[in-house]
Chain A
């Protein structure tokens, strides 16, 4: 029986090539898209789960309350870990890590390693990162021990064994011994480093007092809890612990810390506190929904085309019933056919996804999967997915087909009727609603992207080259040397540039009531040219000036409007001359600058302070003229080699650097766009099939109308208008739904577009045009046919 069914299925597919082609293509595209999304979602959900102790690992995070704000941070003080461990038996181990850039040199090979990490000695015992060489128990114990990843080790040592070799760290050239080589950290790890440096380098060598600095929030701390520990109860016990150990100091500094525990498994997708790599659970949801939608569209195609063709299959059903087939057997046969179709689609998907995986990885910005066949489980899941789709898509047509009454069919009294039409039309409406909603989504995403990139940020980011000097003593001389190069318009030194990192400083600033108010404020160290070169506007007071060299380098501060507001000044002028204390300096506010976006537009502009601190600079910003870029770069490089020879020459352009913050949104936008495109393509494929069958069914009617004198255009209109009505209904359904979801999506951005009416209009018109093109192809063909031919065939 199976063999017979299989044979019939294949012969049927072969006989109706166009039908099979549309169905298989639609299904293959749908399954491929789903498969990619499935892999992507699985990858996102797999973050940090490779750690065998992931269930017991928690990230210690802090809410810090100051009189001015509550700061929810992923950072912890250096003191927490080492002081918690002896006091709480339920804590099995703690690991502190600190990410930072390090200059690493070996002979003439030097790189600025931006992805270096200081780590406590039990790093490898808490997490499941693997050492290829070295001992996990001892590798990070001694100060100035360094562990390279395999890839990074190659950069310095080639194929030679790095173990026991010495490299020089940071500008001062502190010698460090290589005590291990680790496997490259997996892509789905939220903790990511190319090299590890023993935490003891800091705690025992550079900053021996740091283990007891309760107010210095520079580390991330992970706790491994003993099995069976309730994290909520532990959090509660932290309250008296902090009070006992740090209460007095907290009251003095007016900074009160609450310790919280985040399960490691939730850090990547669910934490709102940031971290090294941040995922988005809502993106996971969005893509999952999109996957389901695409699958739905592909299934609907199948259902529509199959039921539309039911007239042709009806005879076979009748005969089979008459010769003794039960309804169940027939249903099984038709479901079998759809499964066969899906298995064919499975093989095409396999080929297609192998081909497209590199493109997809690039689109996603990470190696979601190294290869389709790298994980046999993937292939198995894909196969199961195909079979399940075959079953789902096959059930309805199978039930319809198998319930034909043989008498009706065989007597020729059977006609396609209008019974299935309503369902088919509803399904087309569902398809197009989804497609239009996806088009609207795509337009909104792109609109927001372009808004963010074109928004006036309040500073000038064009033609600005930024170099990382790593606080090299030669930087001032370097600045002077390139200032007068012909292509250089301006040079300025600072600790921070917009879009990059900045200090968070414990500050006390006189508020409108005359009290010193404590707040944690963003802090830029800048030189005298910074405000002018970045085009920042001073709204009250004055910028830093060399005319006040003595006071401005130690006792002057400029704040932004947000900061003025925070301390209660209704007008910026009122803040001028007020006192401040910050990081060991005291002085007066000399100016208020207009707010500018020093972070991405997802985030609100927070209070910002600027001071001149000559020793704290590590970045050179160079404003270039547009001409002769390559020459200018070469000249700057040769000056660099002359003045800062120990540091690698590496630069970035500020506009690109700033836009890099939108990379994940851009990726999201691109992925979304591609999947929307697929959804529309599959819908149109289905529409094409449906249109061709509906015109086929109406061949006789068209013939009669033509004989009676209908014009070609009249017939094309008649055939098209039916489908256009469906697109219109879809538009009405899709618009509010899309508006609602995109509105929610936009709420994640502090600065966002309003969704304009034209977005909907554009999506509607686009869908209409695409549908019309698809249909008219068939309609014109039908309308041009010689009526005698179609009538004779009846």
Chain B
């Protein structure tokens, strides 16, 4: 599904190169559930952002569904991730001014899906996550777990092949966290959605099929479960 080859990212500080990602190569196949771990500052989130094409590496090769991302223009990249990738954030990042249903609907708007079709898809998603009763509430009226549920619903609405989750349970209590992880596992197993998550929690990491440990911008170890 995606392939990173000798990816590096550094910042020039004075005469020194300050590496955030240092020559990482990584392949992820369709249907995998990968957990990325590592201490703060090890480059987990940056790696995830590079995979999600939100950030650009300084050098290296990046292929996504057989497309050379490193050669694409911003517009083409954005068209690519719009089609294939859904994002889930630690801080949920819902739009405060939109209701639950409208938040979930947003990605479809940018993919030019027709209004009636959008309605049906949103209704489907609300149903699946059992939040129909909350569809007209605003994010501020929901608990953290519920907000993250909406965040995931939004990530899934456009039927992405890949979900990138940056500490999705970081702001949740353990029970809510567990529910979210169960949801991820189910999506991975039943719907075949590829998932890459960044996490601090050993326990959550073990939901995945492969754990990648980063340290100082390099892959320290890879553990297959």
Knowing A4-B106, A7-B102, A410-B89 touch, does A324 contact B111 (C-beta < 8 A)?
A: yes
Asked whether B55 is an interface residue with its Cβ less than 8 Å from the other chain, the reply is yes
Q: Mark A298-330, 1 if CB is under 8 A from B, else 0.
A: 000000000000000001101111111110010
| 22 interchain pairs, CB-CB under 8 A | A1-B109, A1-B110, A4-B102, A8-B95, A8-B98, A11-B97, A316-B95, A316-B97, A319-B93, A319-B94, A319-B95, A322-B54, A323-B82, A323-B158, A324-B82, A324-B111, A326-B78, A329-B110, A407-B49, A410-B89, A411-B45, A412-B91
Which A residues, 176 to 213, have Cβ-Cβ distances below 8 Å to chain B?
none
Which B residues, 100 to 117, have Cβ-Cβ distances below 8 Å to chain A?
102, 105-107, 109-111
Asked whether A15 is an interface residue with its Cβ less than 8 Å from the other chain, the reply is yes
Which residues on B sit within 8 Å (CB–CB) of A4? 102, 105-106, 109
Which residues on B sit within 8 Å (CB–CB) of A315? 93
B33 to chain A, nearest CB (A): 21
Asked whether A12 is an interface residue with its Cβ less than 8 Å from the other chain, the reply is yes
On whether the beta carbons of B93 and A410 are closer than 8 Å, the reply is yes
Q: Mark A319-356, 1 if CB is under 8 A from B, else 0.
A: 11111111001000000000000000000000000000
A278 to chain B, nearest CB (A): 57
Looking across the interface, which residue of chain A has its beta carbon closest to that of B49? A407
Looking across the interface, which residue of chain B has its beta carbon closest to that of A326? B78
Which residues on B sit within 8 Å (CB–CB) of A12? 97
On whether the beta carbons of B54 and A8 are closer than 8 Å, the reply is no
Query: In the complex, what distance in Å separates the CA atom of A744 from the CA atom of B70?
Result: 62
Which B residues, 184 to 201, have Cβ-Cβ distances below 8 Å to chain A?
none
B200 to chain A, nearest CB (A): 16
On whether the beta carbons of B87 and A323 are closer than 8 Å, the reply is yes
B157 to chain A, nearest CB (A): 9
Which residues on A sit within 8 Å (CB–CB) of B97? 8, 11-12, 15, 316
Asked whether B81 is an interface residue with its Cβ less than 8 Å from the other chain, the reply is yes
- The contact of B107 among A8, A11, A15, A323, by CB within 8 Å, is A323
Asked whether B75 is an interface residue with its Cβ less than 8 Å from the other chain, the reply is yes
Knowing A1-B109, A407-B54 touch, does A323 contact B102 (C-beta < 8 A)?
A: no
Which residues on A sit within 8 Å (CB–CB) of B161? none
Asked whether B154 is an interface residue with its Cβ less than 8 Å from the other chain, the reply is yes
B55 to chain A, nearest CB (A): 5
Looking across the interface, which residue of chain B has its beta carbon closest to that of A2? B109
Which residues on B sit within 8 Å (CB–CB) of A15? 97
On whether the beta carbons of A320 and B106 are closer than 8 Å, the reply is yes
Knowing A15-B97, A410-B89 touch, does A323 contact B55 (C-beta < 8 A)?
A: no
* Size bin of chain B's contact surface: 20 to 34
On whether the beta carbons of B95 and A320 are closer than 8 Å, the reply is yes
Most A CB contacts (10 A, CB to CB) among B52, B54, B91 go to: B54
On whether the beta carbons of B93 and A324 are closer than 8 Å, the reply is no
On whether the beta carbons of B106 and A322 are closer than 8 Å, the reply is no
B121 to chain A, nearest CB (A): 14
Query: In the complex, what distance in Å separates the CA atom of A592 from the CA atom of B96?
Result: 87
Q: What is the predominant secondary structure among interface residues of chain A facing chain B?
A: helix
B115 to chain A, nearest CB (A): 8
Knowing A315-B93, A316-B97, A411-B45 touch, does A323 contact B54 (C-beta < 8 A)?
A: no
B184 to chain A, nearest CB (A): 18
- The contact of A326 among B75, B93, B96, B105, by CB within 8 Å, is B75
B109 to chain A, nearest CB (A): 5
Asked whether A406 is an interface residue with its Cβ less than 8 Å from the other chain, the reply is yes
Which residues on A sit within 8 Å (CB–CB) of B75? 326
Which B residues, 57 to 110, have Cβ-Cβ distances below 8 Å to chain A?
75, 78, 81-82, 87, 89, 91, 93-98, 102, 105-107, 109-110
On whether the beta carbons of A324 and B102 are closer than 8 Å, the reply is no
Query: In the complex, what distance in Å separates the CA atom of A11 from the CA atom of B138?
Result: 12
On whether the beta carbons of B107 and A324 are closer than 8 Å, the reply is yes
On whether the beta carbons of A323 and B78 are closer than 8 Å, the reply is no
B122 to chain A, nearest CB (A): 12
A719 to chain B, nearest CB (A): 28
B158 to chain A, nearest CB (A): 7
Looking across the interface, which residue of chain A has its beta carbon closest to that of B98? A8
On whether the beta carbons of A323 and B49 are closer than 8 Å, the reply is no
Beyond known contacts A7-B102, A8-B97, A329-B110: 4 more, CB 8 A cutoff: A15-B97, A316-B95, A323-B158, A410-B91
Which A residues, 668 to 706, have Cβ-Cβ distances below 8 Å to chain B?
none
Which residues on B sit within 8 Å (CB–CB) of A7? 98, 102
On whether the beta carbons of A324 and B95 are closer than 8 Å, the reply is no
Query: In the complex, what distance in Å separates the CA atom of A407 from the CA atom of B158?
Result: 21
On whether the beta carbons of B110 and A324 are closer than 8 Å, the reply is yes
Which residues on A sit within 8 Å (CB–CB) of B89? 410
- The contact of A325 among B91, B94, B110, B158, by CB within 8 Å, is B110
Which residues on A sit within 8 Å (CB–CB) of B91? 410, 412
On whether the beta carbons of A406 and B110 are closer than 8 Å, the reply is no
Looking across the interface, which residue of chain B has its beta carbon closest to that of A322? B87
Which residues on A sit within 8 Å (CB–CB) of B105? 4
Looking across the interface, which residue of chain A has its beta carbon closest to that of B83? A324
Q: Which 8 A-B pairs have the closest CB atoms?
A: A324-B82, A324-B110, A323-B107, A11-B97, A407-B54, A319-B93, A325-B110, A407-B55
Q: Mark A399-434, 1 if CB is under 8 A from B, else 0.
A: 000000111001110000000000000000000000
Which residues on B sit within 8 Å (CB–CB) of A321? 78
Query: In the complex, what distance in Å separates the CA atom of A315 from the CA atom of B97?
Result: 11
Query: In the complex, what distance in Å separates the CA atom of A322 from the CA atom of B48?
Result: 13
- The contact of A324 among B49, B94, B158, by CB within 8 Å, is B158
Query: In the complex, what distance in Å separates the CA atom of A577 from the CA atom of B91?
Result: 105
Looking across the interface, which residue of chain B has its beta carbon closest to that of A8? B97
Query: In the complex, what distance in Å separates the CA atom of A323 from the CA atom of B45?
Result: 18
Looking across the interface, which residue of chain A has its beta carbon closest to that of B93? A319
Which residues on A sit within 8 Å (CB–CB) of B98? 7-8, 11
Looking across the interface, which residue of chain B has its beta carbon closest to that of A10? B97
Most B CB contacts (10 A, CB to CB) among A4, A316, A323 go to: A323
On whether the beta carbons of A318 and B78 are closer than 8 Å, the reply is no
Query: In the complex, what distance in Å separates the CA atom of A325 from the CA atom of B158?
Result: 13
Which A residues, 476 to 495, have Cβ-Cβ distances below 8 Å to chain B?
none
A20 to chain B, nearest CB (A): 13
Query: In the complex, what distance in Å separates the CA atom of A319 from the CA atom of B104?
Result: 12
Query: In the complex, what distance in Å separates the CA atom of A322 from the CA atom of B95?
Result: 12
Query: In the complex, what distance in Å separates the CA atom of A406 from the CA atom of B81?
Result: 13
B139 to chain A, nearest CB (A): 11
Query: In the complex, what distance in Å separates the CA atom of A289 from the CA atom of B70?
Result: 52
A288 to chain B, nearest CB (A): 40
- The contact of B81 among A316, A324, A411, by CB within 8 Å, is A324
Query: In the complex, what distance in Å separates the CA atom of A410 from the CA atom of B90?
Result: 10
B198 to chain A, nearest CB (A): 12
B83 to chain A, nearest CB (A): 8
